[in-house]
Amino acid sequence: MAYTIAFFGTKPYDESSFNDKNKEFGFEIRYYKGHLNKNNVLLTQGVDAVCIFVNDVADAEVIRIMAENGVKLLALRCAGFNNVDLNAAATAGITVVRVPAYSPYAVAEYTVALMLSLNRKIPRASWRTKDGNFSLHGLMGFDMHGKTAGIIGTGKIAKILIHILKGFGMNVLAYDLYPDYNFAREEQIVYTSLDELYHSSDIISLHCPLTEETKYLINDYSISKMKDGVMIINTGRGQLIHTNALIEGLKNKKIGSAGLDVYEEESEYFYEDQSDRIIDDDVLARLLSFNNVIVTSHQAFFTREAMENIAMTTLQNIKDFINHKPLLNEVKR
């Protein structure tokens, strides 16, 4: 009998990628469009494993019910795991695995795309010319060459980003709890304190994991230390930024622009077509009203190569679990 996996929060592109790669594995996959939560967890009855994405909820109650239904493995098809109660999973005897890196190039390149789009006002310029307005007023940007980028967190994505930014001729300041000094020598970048990074950076980009220590890392106090007109980019996790503090910084011109591929309350909106309804999240609506803010729907990872890697790594994680092999991508409390 085939090993059965229930996929939650799936889209057509998920089914396409996983069906293609599953030809090599032969699992029985059941796809569900709804996000995993306490109201639909009953769908995990009769399956061996559950696969979820960033906006699914695997809290203590959901995990308890999954365990009662006989689920032994929770496979995340993403890198982040802050939506999983790891203590509850350990107690319930459910193993958790993830995809730690699917395409660091995808996210790094998208981060640069946000920087360039904000700096050179490309979305505004495009809207104008479509309406027959070819004026340059209000579209002035700045040379990135010679400017300073502050990179918070220097994992795989950030290292690729730094390499790209060095190609622009930018100076790079970095902060990480575990600095890679060999990398710093190779790329000629400087590890520094957060205060110095805030004080000296023209562009700040966030690439650290979401933990209790990094939650709301960008807040009123940290923004007050930054350069006037600073650009802030977040392709990491929404809760790295206190959104109301960001809005206040935009209003008082302390923050010159912001590129956000993530939002702290994104689960209600992102990955869905909401065009036929009014956005009743006042904070998100306010963000969308700024002409110097770009908000996108958590799509930095979304390339063909990344989707192929996600499918392959997820299915290999499951196969390794079945065959009692070492789980290289296991997440433990």
What number of helices (H) and strands (E) belong to the chain?
Answer: 12, 12
Predicted confidence (pLDDT) per residue in 153-185, tens digit? 999 999 999 999 999 999 999 999 999 999 999
Average the pLDDT over 231-236 and give the result. Answer: 97
Per-residue pLDDT of 253-281, as tens digits, reads 999 999 999 999 887 889 888 888 899 89
Average pLDDT over residues 117-140: 97
Which is the catalytic residue, given 35, 98, 207, 298? Answer: 298
Does the annotation count 237 as an active-site position? yes
Query: What distance lies between CA 147 and its chain's CA centroid?
Result: 25
Q: What is the pLDDT of residue 162?
A: 98
> Could you confirm whether 68 is annotated as catalytic?
no
Provide the pLDDT for residue 274: 86
Identify the structural domains of the chain with CATH numbers, from first to last: 2-100+302-321 (3.40.50.720), 103-293 (3.40.50.720)
91 contacts: CB under 8 Å, gap ≥ 6 = none
Kindly report whether the global pTM for this prediction surpasses the value 0.85. Answer: yes
State the DSSP string of 283-325.
Answer: HHHHHHH-TTEEE--S-TT-SHHHHHHHHHHHHHHHHHHHTT-
What does the pLDDT read at residue 80? 84
Residue 2 confidence (pLDDT)? 85
Active site residue 35: no
Smallest CA-to-CA distance from 290 within 328, 265, 258 is with 258
For residue 19, pLDDT beyond 90:
yes
276's CB contacts (< 8 A; 6+ apart) are none
Question: In this predicted structure, what is the pLDDT of residue 1?
Answer: 63
Among 64, 77, 264, 266, the active-site one is 266
What is the tens place of the pLDDT at every residue in 28-37? 999 999 999 9
* pLDDT digit string, tens, across residues 66-110: 999 999 999 999 988 989 999 999 999 999 999 998 899 999 999
Q: Which of 64, 98, 237, 242 is catalytic?
A: 237
Tracing tokens 């990628």 back to the chain, one arrives at 17
